[in-house]
Amino acid sequence: MAGRVDALYFFLVGLAVFFSALIAGLIVYYAVRYRRRDPDEVGAAIHGSLALEVAWTVIPLGITMVLFVWGASVFFAMSRPPDETINVYVVGKQWMWKFQHLDGQREINELHVPVGRAVKLIMTSEDVIHDLFVPAFRTKADVLPGRYTNLWFQATTPGRYHLFCAEYCGTRHSGMIGEVIAMDPADYQAWLSGGGGEGSLASKGEKLFADLACNTCHRPDAQGRGPVLKGLFGRTQTLEGGGSVVVDESYVRESILNPGAKITAGFQPIMPSFQGLVSEEQLLELVEYVKSLGAEPQATPAGPAPAAPAPAGTAPARQ
């Protein structure tokens, strides 16, 4: 994204320099050209010029429309991650960044990624608003308590890149920094297979799901008191009382913390809240477990569900 952002930025700078020079130059030129030459001189009365007014309306309109369309296209590209991404969960807290890979690796203030692959960060905060900023990638997004925000990038050159918190978040805000380590795919695989060992995020979620007795109501058959979770993720769910919702990370999270907010049609609002009982990291494990239960290959234009297992560390956006 860096090239596109830079091109737009330098165009803006060039535009500002051009008009600054033009205006400053004309001020000097007119001051000399139209100076008063004799004390009794009276200026000519000028009553408007349609051509001039049309020109100074239409030309700026054209320039700002170019900026708008150009800026919007860059913004859309930054906002829409590709379908195939490596997903990493991020939890910001005063004052550190915690990264959680799907295979179970955890990192603090360091994020290892492969070059040449799109990486999507699914981010939340344990306390106040933070903002994850990687200047070299020209990418930046707020990290908010109580919801998930996304950011994606694709590193192109191996190396270590600064990572900052870009939202004032308290005393040690300036120390809330780290590094993104972009590695060759082979090195990344080697890094992934070393360490970890605690099991994947989804498997920890499955254990937690049983520990919290979620499985007594959310049973795999349709006999439970709660909706069947298998094949749920990514689907559009009809709600009690009308409306619908797409089952994404935010909806699963909300349903755990505030189950009464959006009840699936045909069910009673009997689920207790798990607010305060599960940490942000446990929430991520549960979300990833629900994701791992898969989505039905329902009427997607993409055709049949991918048959081959994705390479390690890969997670299609809708599993």
Query: CB-hemisphere CA count at 13 Å for 36?
Result: 6
Our finding on whether 284 is near ligand CUA (CB under 6 A) is no
CA distance 205 to 312: 18
Among residue numbers 170 through 229, which ones bind ligand CUA (CB under 6 A)?
173, 176
Q: Which of 88, 113, 134, 169 binds ligand CUA (CB under 6 A)?
A: 169
Stretch that binds ligand CUA, among 167-175, 191-199, 266-274, 306-314 (CB under 6 A): 167-175
CA distance 78 to 1: 7
Our finding on whether 141 is near ligand CUA (CB under 6 A) is no
Q: Which of 102, 113, 123, 165 binds ligand CUA (CB under 6 A)?
A: 165
Residue type, 101: H
CA distance 41 to 30: 16
| Min separation Cβ 285 and ligand CUA, Å | 23
Our finding on whether 168 is near ligand CUA (CB under 6 A) is yes
| Min separation Cβ 79 and ligand CUA, Å | 22
The token pair at 230 is 């298998």
Site size toward ligand CUA (CB under 6 A) is 9
Residue with smaller CB distance to ligand CUA, 130 or 218 = 130
The token pair at 88 is 């990493």
Among residue numbers 57 through 116, which ones bind ligand CUA (CB under 6 A)?
92, 95
| Min separation Cβ 81 and ligand CUA, Å | 23
Q: Give phi and psi for 86, each to the nearest 5.
A: -85, 120
Residue type, 35: R
Residue with smaller CB distance to ligand CUA, 8 or 144 = 144
| Min separation Cβ 231 and ligand CUA, Å | 37
Q: Specify whether the CB–CB gap between 236 and 245 falls below 8 A.
A: yes
| Min separation Cβ 109 and ligand CUA, Å | 11
Q: Which of 88, 111, 148, 167 binds ligand CUA (CB under 6 A)?
A: 167
Stretch that binds ligand CUA, among 38-46, 168-176, 178-186, 192-200 (CB under 6 A): 168-176
| Min separation Cβ 242 and ligand CUA, Å | 40
Non-local CB neighbours of 313 within 8 Å, separated by 6+ positions: 86, 101, 102, 103, 114, 188, 189, 192
Q: Residue 110 pairs with which residues in a beta bridge? A: 179
Residue with smaller CB distance to ligand CUA, 128 or 212 = 128
CA distance 317 to 205: 18
DSSP classification of residue 247:
-
| Min separation Cβ 171 and ligand CUA, Å | 10
Q: Is the dihedral of CA 258, 260, 261, 263 positive or negative?
A: positive
Which helix H or strand E contains 108, and what residues bound it? Answer: strand 106-108
Non-local CB neighbours of 184 within 8 Å, separated by 6+ positions: 114, 115, 158
Binding site residues, ligand CUA, CB under 6 A: 92, 95, 130, 165, 167-169, 173, 176
